[in-house]
Amino acid sequence: MDRGRQGLRCLAFAAALCLAYIAGYLQGGALCPQLATWARSPQDLAETSAIPLAREEESVQSDDVAPVDDSPGTTQPPMPIDDKPMRSGKGCSQYEGVSFPLDGWPEEVRAKEGVSIYGTGWAQRRLREHQFPGSCAGKSFVEHGMFRSGIGSNFHISAAVLAMALNEGSIYLWPEDDTENPWTHGDKKSLVDCPGGKAVSSYQCYLKPPSSCKGSGGSRFTGVKRERGKLELKSTELIPRMFKELLKCSGYHSRYWVKWWRAQAVAFLLRPSDATREELAAFRRQSLVGTMQAGVLGSYVRHGDKYYEATEYPFQDYLQIFGWILGTAEVKRCAGSEALLAPFQWQLPKLRSVRRLYLGSDDANVLQEALSSFRNLIYMNVSRLSKRMSLMKVQRRLGPKQMVMESLLNLQLLMESDAFVCTWSSNWCRLVDEMRLTAATQLGFL
């Protein structure tokens, strides 16, 4: 390989690393030179917090239409996080040290003595107070049905609609007739067999309700499309006003407030029902190969139809990252590689003593490659179809409920992992990260 190609490969690998380490946001270090510059000078970033909502919709209405999502060139880098406020002010102490329940998830997902991003406990309690009032009389409502897109995309759009509802003083609801939700409807629009035997067309099929109230008219959206009422979603108003003072106390630059809010919204909405939790436990016993324990490195390799919309990193790039972290192989290192790993040095001994990898992927070839490379591999023994198949074709082949249960178990296992490697171009990867930074109290972990 000539020197020019070698340099290009090194640069590409460094870029992959910068995209891969999305779960840490560790204090005291930057992940790559680009992020170091960004951390010092947020104003130098080209992107803003006014993210076009259309970017979140992985449109899969047609098998022939490529879904739309963020790509590495358009996504924002991870926000710098500190469990202590970077700026103190009058009243800031009320946002700190507030506990919140681990609602719907088993205790295993929560890191021992872990912490969440700033203000999480206070925010989660405020959301519950608003959505579960003492009386629903006189309340206004915003119903939100799901677009035919991936689960990660669904919940990131939900964060925008929930923010709008909060700003209007309205209660956010899932409609009882969520007819477009692809994850609750099977063949010929028949409802799936929800956990516990329910017949529900919304995400309440799998999750706890977002409110104690029942809808009685008001605005309604499907995805970002307004179906009823006069309210409009605006990409400049994606953060609830009730949290603006908290965010000022956090010291996070305003460019990253949307990221903080999405993490709070996902943590609030994505709470498995008791029946779902029971089915997940049974599904885990049936499908999980290997044993989770302390010191496991978790990763999700998103291939599938992702190649339509973003750079697809070959599994060999992931293997180099795994080998680098776990110390299992000598890899060709780019200039400055030691600085990239410096913030994570305290965590490496545990990861390297265990050397176990939990791997999730929608690509069967990835699993086969991993099985030949890792002796201590943990994975789900489930069906995986062609990675060039559209999401809705996969949904029809595997069934919506099977895909949702696999996704929820995959999320749970990645929340349990001590470290997480994924790509920022995937809505699903970002959702996992958001859950790790809130419900799983994994702030400060790789």
Give the pLDDT of residue 88: 58
Give the pLDDT of residue 288: 97
CA gap 284, 265 in Å, rounded: 26
What is the DSSP pairing of strand 419-421 with strand 225-228? Answer: unpaired
The answer to whether the beta carbons of residues 264 and 127 sit under 8 Å apart is: yes
- The CA dihedral of 234, 235, 236, 237, to the nearest 10 degrees, is 60
What are the average pLDDT values for consecutive 10-residue runs of the chain, which has 446 residues? Answer: 42 39 31 28 27 41 32 36 54 91 92 90 97 96 92 95 96 94 84 92 97 89 91 86 96 92 98 98 97 94 67 86 82 69 80 93 89 91 73 77 95 95 89 95 75
CA gap 408, 398 in Å, rounded: 15
The answer to whether the beta carbons of residues 421 and 322 sit under 8 Å apart is: yes
pTM check: above 0.75? yes
Unique residue bearing structure tokens 């009389």: 137
Give the pLDDT of residue 247: 96
CATH class of the domain defined by 3-48+276-437: alpha beta
User: Side chain identity at 40, as an amino acid letter?
Assistant: R
* DSSP per-residue string spanning 344-374: GTTTHHHHHHH-EEEEEES-HHHHHHHHHH-
CA gap 69, 309 in Å, rounded: 6
Domain boundaries, the chain: 3-48+276-437, 92-272
The answer to whether the beta carbons of residues 130 and 166 sit under 8 Å apart is: yes
The answer to whether the beta carbons of residues 445 and 27 sit under 8 Å apart is: no
b/e sequence 107-125, b meaning 16+ C-beta within 10 Å:
eebbbeeebbbbbbbbbbe
CA gap 427, 67 in Å, rounded: 12
Query: Which residues 6+ apart lie within 8 Å of 238 measured at CB?
Result: 49, 50, 51, 159, 160, 163, 258, 261
Q: What share of the chain is helix, strand, coil (3-state, %, to 5)?
A: 45, 10, 45
**C-alpha pair distances (Å), 78 with each of 20, 34, 155, 439:** 11, 12, 18, 18
CA gap 53, 72 in Å, rounded: 17
